[in-house]
Amino acid sequence: MRNHRGVIAEHYHALQSLDSINSARAAMAAEPGTRSALLIGLYQSVEIGLHNVAQLLDRAAGCLRDRDIAACAVDLYWVRSFHRVLVRLSLAARRVSAGWDDEAPRWTVDATPAFADFLGSLRSFDGELAHLADQPEIDLGAVIAERTLDDAWFGVLHCARTANHDARVWSANLAASVRPAPGLAPEQLLASDLVRQAVFEHQLRGHTYFTQFRALHQIPELLVREINDRVEMAIRSARVGDITAAVDVLDGAEELFDPIEACLPPIVDNLSTHDYHQIRENLGLTSGSHSVSLRFHLFTELYEQLIEAIAGRTAADGDHPLMPRLRRHAVNLNVFIFSWRDMHLHLPRNNLGGAETKSLTGSQDAVRTVRKMRDNAASNDPVARMEKRVQVPSSAVGPLVEYLDGPESSDGLLLTETGKVTQANFRDVQERLNVFSQPCPFSRPPRRVV
Ligand code: HEM
């Protein structure tokens, strides 16, 4: 099925090019659970980020040529946010690299295909900006001196200078990080062709943020695979009483929480309702809730089994000196999962709205559904059962809930207005017509039992 922009996705796996993501991970020259695997996943994520920045910079340069400064500013807001993700990836790489000795060769980030792509695009953008700076129509000094956030030219210059500094930071961090399997060329180590294919496999016509929407799913999808393999190893180790091994693999898994969380703010902050609506029909009957690795493996099945194994070990081996660290890992995983869910809630709120707005997959009220998924998980949380002091608060309680849900707050008003806009733009989704009259093709995957 197609619309005027291109293909309407058949399912989440295809939408996010998870075959390419899986192949890129399978091509890794390191076993899951090793420090090299952590670094390769981080560097592959950097490749995804750089291809996206390159695409955005090319478009931003085109906007400058066309003197569409407002559109250029929007592209650069996204660029700025992707640089923040790159910084966070590079910090994780530095932390992981601390496990090697000083002599270990360092990562040649500037020798990867995505870096070359990015640098070429940065050069063209800078050339375009420098050319404009020479024209009488714009006085960059006056923009910096006199304008502020309400002005598109200010947005362009402010994002460009912020992105330049962040680029200096992440590139230096990565160049100071370790190079795993130094005998392999960077593009072989990263399976760069497969990463590139994941980024560009699906394209839509027009000026949309579809590639970026996909990237901000693809990076978490890639990194969570390593987390899941490690949690599985930790479960096995904890069950047989090898607490040292369990702590060790979870130490590594934890390094990837921060980069995954870092992928939400770019989409929360930059994706306007309008821009999401430009690509919504092409998402078809899909949802992030069809992410087998995030929702089912990590958030549910492996999480429950890990906590069960830790609780069992506590009963059997409570005096082991590493037991407090193992239990700490359980709490950290709990905090990660729920902070991710809380941040993710912005997305249905901002892009779909309330007032019984249906999700693509047909949930009666998308925002209520996502809240319910979070709150049900919170009320059945295995860590909260094990550690009575770690209760996950329900989203329906707290000192501000009464005000925020009451008539004086702007919250209900904005949710309702957003919902009305969404329903008006997507009658087919709301009334389950045409593509959306079909049953959702997704069914619950077999449980990942360790
Ligand atoms: C505009 C962006 C997004 C919107 C509007 C959105 C909307 C939703 C909705 C409505 C659900 C509930 C299930 C349903 O009715 O289909 C959901 C669940 C979910 N989404 Fe998203 N989502 C967005 C972005 C993302 C991203 C970037 C990810 C990252 C991979 C993601 C991952 C998930 C997961 C894992 C769930 C299950 C939640 C849970 O287990 O608590 N979503 N999303």
CB of 97 sitting under 6 A from ligand 1: no
Identify the residue whose C-alpha is closest to ligand 1 atom 3: 347
The domain segmentation of the chain, as residue ranges, is: 11-202, 206-444
> Distance between CA atoms of 275 and 23, rounded to whole angstroms?
30
Is the CB of residue 395 less than 8 Å from the CB of residue 388? no
| pLDDT tens by residue, 323-341 | 999 999 999 999 999 999 9
- CATH number for domain 206-444, candidates 3.30.70, 1.20.58, 1.10.20, 1.10.3820: 1.20.58
| pLDDT tens by residue, 206-244 | 999 999 999 999 999 999 999 999 999 999 999 999 999
Q: Which atom of ligand 1 is nearest to the CA of 352?
A: 5
- Best substitution site from 18, 347, 381 to test ligand 1's pocket, by max atoms within 8 Å of Cβ? 347
pLDDT of residue 390: 87
User: What average pLDDT does the chain have?
Assistant: 97
Mean pLDDT along residues 130-148: 97
Is the CB of residue 210 less than 8 Å from the CB of residue 279? yes
N- to C-terminal Cα separation, the chain: 39
Q: Using the mean position of ligand 1's atoms as its centre, give its distance from the Cα of residue 406 in Å.
A: 26
Q: Please tell me whether residue 80 adopts helix, strand or coil conformation.
A: helix
Q: Using the mean position of ligand 1's atoms as its centre, give its distance from the Cα of residue 114 in Å.
A: 28
What number of other Cβ atoms are within 10 A of residue 429's Cβ? 25
Q: Please tell me whether residue 120 adopts helix, strand or coil conformation.
A: helix
H/E stretch holding 357:
none
> Distance between CA atoms of 50 and 83, rounded to whole angstroms?
9
What percentage of the chain exceeds 70 in pLDDT? 100
Confidence band for 342, pLDDT divided at 50, 70 and 90 = very high
CB of 347 sitting under 6 A from ligand 1: yes
Q: Name the pTM for this structure.
A: 0.98
CB of 270 sitting under 6 A from ligand 1: no
Is the CB of residue 172 less than 8 Å from the CB of residue 94? no
State which amino acid sits at residue 77.
Y
> Distance between CA atoms of 44 and 195, rounded to whole angstroms?
7
Is the CB of residue 342 less than 8 Å from the CB of residue 374? yes
| pLDDT tens by residue, 343-366 | 999 999 999 999 999 999 999 999
Is the CB of residue 303 less than 8 Å from the CB of residue 378? no
Half-sphere exposure of 378 (CA within 13 A, CB side): 21
